[in-house]
Amino acid sequence: AIADLAPDDIIYLPTPLYHNVGIGCSWIKANLLGAKLALSKRLSVSEFWNDIRKFQATYFMYVGEIPRYLLNQPPSENDKNHTLKKMLGLGLRKEIWEEFQARFQVDHIYEFYGSTEGSRPLFNVDEIPGMIGRDTMAGFAIAKVDPDTGEFYKNEKGYCVKCKAGDIGMGLIKVEERGVFTGYKDREKTEKKILHKVFRKTDTYFNTGDMLKVHEDRWVSFVDRFGDTFRWKGENVSTLEVEAILNSYSAIQYSAVYGAAIPNTDGKAG
């Protein structure tokens, strides 16, 4: 099984089932393998480890900043007194990963990268802190772009250029004929996300909008969102949707929303 999930595991899930970590990584995987799933009504940082002990949970599915929240709790003599052995999730920064594992002594932490629209998830099952996986999977590519405009760099033949170690570029997912990408409800938005003639005359790719960095041995780390969205606590947020809500108030004539980095947090806030 992916990320060492086994039939005798008990998965602890304090996040909503509508999120992919809840429905895809937890509920579906538990059903397929026959593992147990322990659901919490909500995330309680103060009760997290008590829940782990109560359910005898061995596996935790995390998103975004949950490990950081847990690290911010005062140290306790019970920090290592638990049954948790394995974790799988997304958005765990290198320094938080290392500190969390050292303090709570969780044996294995796995990271993945993916999206609802994307059909090529990446997995870091080698437990390298800060990495989301390797771009060796067929159909996944990282293309060089202008960091300011997002325009793709082209070679002498007019095709995109794949990133090498040390480069930061845009994550692209190939659209296969057998797995047609029908897109969003808004046809115009769909067309903006679909790229044609990317690396050859006949190919088509989905633009993830994620800026990724390529490291040695094709390892990849997440850098930032590009364009009219920003990532906050592991979720992509549309600046246009936030603007629409703000502009609906009579006291606001016009608003412009963008992602701004906040110290000691992951992602950006609008």
Q: Which domain holds residue 72?
A: 2-113
DSSP state, residue 234: T
Task: Mark whether 219 and 240 lie in a shared domain.
Answer: no
82: tokens are 């638990």
Residue 128 lies in a domain: no
Are residues 199 and 167 located together in one domain of the fold? yes
Q: How many domains are contained in the chain?
A: 3
| pLDDT 10s digits, 137-154 | 888 999 999 988 889 999
Query: Contact at 8 Å (CB) between 148 and 117?
Result: no
β pairing state of 86-90 and 59-63 = parallel
Same domain, 213 and 145: yes
Q: What is the CATH number of the domain that holds 45?
A: 3.40.50.980
What is the pairing mode between strands 133-134 and 140-144?
unpaired
Checking if the pLDDT of 171 tops 60, the result is yes
Asked if residue 66 is part of any domain, the answer here is: yes
19 and 107 fall within a common domain: yes
Q: What is the pLDDT of residues 120-135, one digit of tens each?
A: 889 999 999 999 999 8
With respect to residue 10, please indicate whether it lies within any of the assigned structural domains.
Answer: yes
Q: Are residues 158 and 108 in the same domain?
A: no
Rounded distance, CA 223 to CA 80, Å? 32
Query: Distance between CA 159 and CA 196 in Å, rounded?
Result: 10
Residues 6+ apart with CB under 8 A from 260: 268, 269, 270
**pLDDT at 178 exceeding the cut of 70:** no
> Do 78 and 144 belong to one domain?
no
Residues 6+ apart with CB under 8 A from 206: 117, 118, 172, 173, 174, 175, 181, 193, 194, 195
CATH number of the domain to which 162 belongs: 2.30.38.10
Q: Are residues 27 and 109 in the same domain?
A: yes
pLDDT at res. 13: 93
In order, the DSSP letters of 239-259 are HHHHHHHHHTSTT-S------
Question: What is the rounded distance in angstroms from the CA atom of residue 160 to the CA atom of residue 36?
Answer: 46
Distance CA 137, CA 119 (A): 11
Same domain? 19 vs 91: yes
Band of pLDDT at residue 270, cut at 50, 70 and 90:
very low
Mean pLDDT of the chain: 85
Structure tokens at 53: 């002990």
In a domain? residue 123? no
pLDDT in tens, 67-85: 989 999 999 999 999 999 9
166 in any annotated domain: yes
The two tokens of residue 46 are: 């103060």
Contact 81, 109 (CB under 8 A): no
- Rounded average pLDDT over 171-198: 75
Q: Are strands 219-225 and 133-134 parallel, antiparallel or unpaired?
A: antiparallel
Tell how strand 268-269 and strand 36-39 pair up.
Answer: unpaired
Inter-residue contact 17 to 41 (CB < 8 Å): no
Local structure of 61: helix, strand or coil: strand
Same domain? 157 vs 236: no
The span from the CA of 171 to the CA of 213, in Å, is 9
Name which residue leads in pLDDT, 253 or 219: 219
Same domain (yes/no): 256, 198: no
Is residue 131 one of the residues assigned to a domain?
no
Report the alpha-carbon distance of residue 135 to residue 120 in Å, rounded.
10
216 and 256, same structural domain?
no
Q: For residue 242, what pLDDT is reported?
A: 72
Whether the predicted pLDDT of 234 surpasses 60: no
- If DSSP codes are grouped into helix, strand and coil, which group holds residue 216? helix
103 found inside a domain = yes
Is 73 domain-assigned?
yes
pLDDT band at 25 (very low <50, low <70, confident <90, very high): confident
In terms of pLDDT, which residue wins out, 93 or 115?
Answer: 93
Whether residue 259 sits in one domain with residue 178: no
